[in-house]
Amino acid sequence: MSEKEKGDGGTGGGGDEVVLKRQVSLLAGVSLLVGTIIGSGIFISPKGVLRQTDSVGMSLVIWIACGVLSTCAALCYAELGTLVRKSGGEYAYLFEAFGPVPAYLFSWTYAIVLKPSSLAAITLTFGTYFVQLFVSGSCEVPVYLIKLFAITAILLIAFINSYSVKWATRVQIIFTAAKIFALIIIVFVGIVRLCQGHTEHLNTSVSFEGSSTRVFAYGIAFYQGLWAYDSWNQLNFVTEELVNPKRNLPLAILIGMPLVIVLYLLVNIAYFTVMSPLELLASDAVAVTLADRTLGVMAWIIPLFVCFSTFGAANGALFASGRLAFVSAREGHMMEILSMIHIKRFTPFPSIVFTSFIAIIFIIPNDFDTLVNYFSFAAWMFYGATFIALLVLRYKYPDKERAIRVPIFLPIAVLLAAVYLVLAPIIDQPELEFLYALIFIFAGLLLYFPFVYKKYSFSFNKTFTYFLQKLMRVVPPTEKYKE
């Protein structure tokens, strides 16, 4: 790291330059990675995985396989992140390898739909569990109340992320510790139950009985499991704010991913020491069911810590997704105002507000499994394209410095996995919704050619941008601001 970076903590700017600062340490990076991965998935997805695999043994195998696949993919991204040292994740890598059009389609899909809808799903889970703290299990909770708490969570997180990067990372560290503590409680319950002999659903002689024989059905099972591991690429969205990214990006992945895999496996085992497969499938909140059956008067602690978990995951999701809109706008692929930074807080304030606003729109009733399946379908299309980008950049820049160089078979293996994950669900359950997802992705070209390629602009655009600029007190990055 240069002396300039050491001195001001910026991304190359001096003391009065408005830039994103390098304030995300290794600990904050691990917390951002682990804290964003561990969100609502581990409390919801076990049902989806079990439903597709039809056996306890195979569901545990899928959880391990999802973790290994996510780790391999994250390591490939670590090479990309130390080669292309820009925030924005896949957007930056697709742009460098293939040019602006694939990068634009990625940002269009992610910034407008996938990231905000993911944030909405996480905060709806927060709202569901938060309400559980105040009502008995026999009471029917009004949907509007769950939505109200979800929207409140988004607004609070948006304020934190807009006010200070340090605030956002500190919140992430605190809530990551809280959610790991919650998972440790569940794991401890599982260990006690195992010691008491409750292994009837885990014995190898019976745990694989009835396993699904439909090869392509496992694609849907992977979608459900990978939802719980989603955000393994989170640090690549904030590379420009990571202290010493050449060292800390791969190191955070190597610390964070194995921790998540071990925790997820032990938590799933704990579930099966308390519930039969049929009981798990019938439970609306498996962690709460486990708590009600084992923790007695202290059962309330699990819904509380699930709230902590989902709040922390939502905080990390907004932290990263706000940077995607910022980087995309900086390249001219989204509205100019989204590329600007607050003059005092050094946060991408407009892009955070933009992402939060769309997420609030998505706070509507949704079938969780369907949302996960279509999110994963589109996501793994772009992941596959990014693994191809890694191979292209190996050829394009063979001698360029990389802090980490993964074995060539690794991106090829995860690319093949991505192809399977895109095609398998379509083959197993051909539905029009997958076609609709593709249509939406490529519909972005209808906006790209007039507004990005041809640079068409409405007459009021500059006036409106200037108005928002004054309202939000933001300026373009690296532009010096004088009071």
* Residue that wins the pLDDT comparison between 295 and 87: 295
pLDDT score of 369 more than 70: no
CA–CA distance, 483 with 477 (Å, rounded to integer): 16
From residue 446, how far is each of 157, 392, 436, 458, 472 by CA, in Å?
33, 27, 16, 16, 30
Q: How confident is the model at residue 67 (pLDDT cuts 50, 70, 90)?
A: very high
pLDDT in the model for residue 12? 40
- Kindly report the CATH number that applies to the domain delimited by 3-475: 1.20.1740.10
Q: Which of 24, 29, 438 is nearest to 233 (CA)?
A: 29
pLDDT confidence of residue 102: 93
Tell me the average pLDDT across 79-102. Answer: 87
Size of the chain in residues: 483
Question: Which pLDDT score is estimated for 119?
Answer: 87
What is the spatial distance between Cα 348 and Cα 119, in angstroms, rounded to a whole number? 18
Statement: residue 366 has pLDDT above 80: no
pLDDT value at 365 more than 70:
no
pLDDT at 139 (0 to 100) = 63
Mean pLDDT across 424-437? 72
Average pLDDT over residues 233-250: 80
Instruction: Enter the pTM of the model.
Output: 0.78
Q: Cα–Cα–Cα angle for 72, 106, 172, nearest 5°? A: 60
- Residue 375: what pLDDT? 66
- DSSP assigned state of 451: I
Separation of alpha carbons 393 and 400, rounded Å: 9
**Whole-number pLDDT of residue 371:** 58
Angstrom distances, CA of residue 307 to CA of 123, 150, 365, 385: 9, 11, 19, 35
Q: Is the pLDDT of residue 281 over 70?
A: yes
Would the pLDDT of 303 be above 50? yes
C-alpha 228, offset from chain centre? 9
What span, in angstroms and rounded, lies between the C-alpha atoms of 124 and 118? 10
State mean pLDDT over 451-477.
85
Residue 299's alpha-carbon distances to 114, 136, 318, 366, in angstroms, are 34, 12, 30, 28
Q: What does the pLDDT look like over 99-143, one tens digit per residue?
A: 999 999 998 888 888 888 888 888 888 888 888 777 765 567 778
3-state secondary structure of 258: helix
The whole-number pLDDT of residue 10 equals: 39
| CA–CA separation, 239 and 172 (whole Å) | 17
The answer to whether 473 and 344 are in contact (CB under 8 A) is yes
% of the chain beyond a pLDDT of 70 = 89
Paired with 342 in beta bridges are 474
Flag whether pLDDT at 29 surpasses 80: yes
pLDDT at 137: 56
CA distance 106 to 324: 10
Query: Distance of alpha carbon 109 from its chain centroid, rounded?
Result: 14
Query: How sure is the predictor about 372, in pLDDT bands with cuts at 50, 70 and 90?
Result: low
The closest of 341, 410, 281, 435 to 87, measured between CA atoms, is 341
Q: Is the pLDDT of residue 343 over 50?
A: yes
pLDDT digits (tens, 9 = 90+) for 247-266: 888 888 899 999 999 999 99
- Per-residue pLDDT band for 16 (boundaries 50, 70, 90) equals low
Q: Is the pLDDT of residue 483 over 50?
A: no
On the 0-12 / 13-18 / 19+ scale of CB atoms within 10 A, 122 is: buried
More confident residue, 22 or 349: 349
**Where would I find the beta strands (DSSP E) of 332-458?**
341-342
Residue 317 has pLDDT above 50, yes or no: yes
Look at 95-109, 211-225, 267-281 and tell me which has the smallest mean pLDDT.
Answer: 211-225
Closest residue by Cα to residue 383 from 339, 418, 433: 418
40 and 285 Cβ atoms separated by less than 8 Å: no
CA distance 382 to 73: 12
Most confident of 66-70, 161-165, 248-252, 341-345: 66-70
Q: Given this model, what pLDDT does residue 464 score?
A: 87
Determine whether 407 is exposed, middle or buried from the number of CB atoms within 10 Å of its CB (0-12, 13-18, 19+): exposed
Highest mean pLDDT among 142-151, 262-271, 361-370: 262-271
Mean pLDDT of the chain: 83
At residue 221 the predicted structure's pLDDT band, cuts being 50, 70 and 90, is: confident
pLDDT of residue 189: 93
pLDDT tens-digit map of 134-182 = 776 556 777 888 889 999 999 999 999 998 888 888 888 888 888 888 8
Place of tokens 């949302």: 371
Confidence tier at 18 by pLDDT (50, 70, 90): low
Q: Provide Rg for the chain, Cα atoms.
A: 22
**In the predicted structure, residue 33 carries a pLDDT above the cut 90:** no
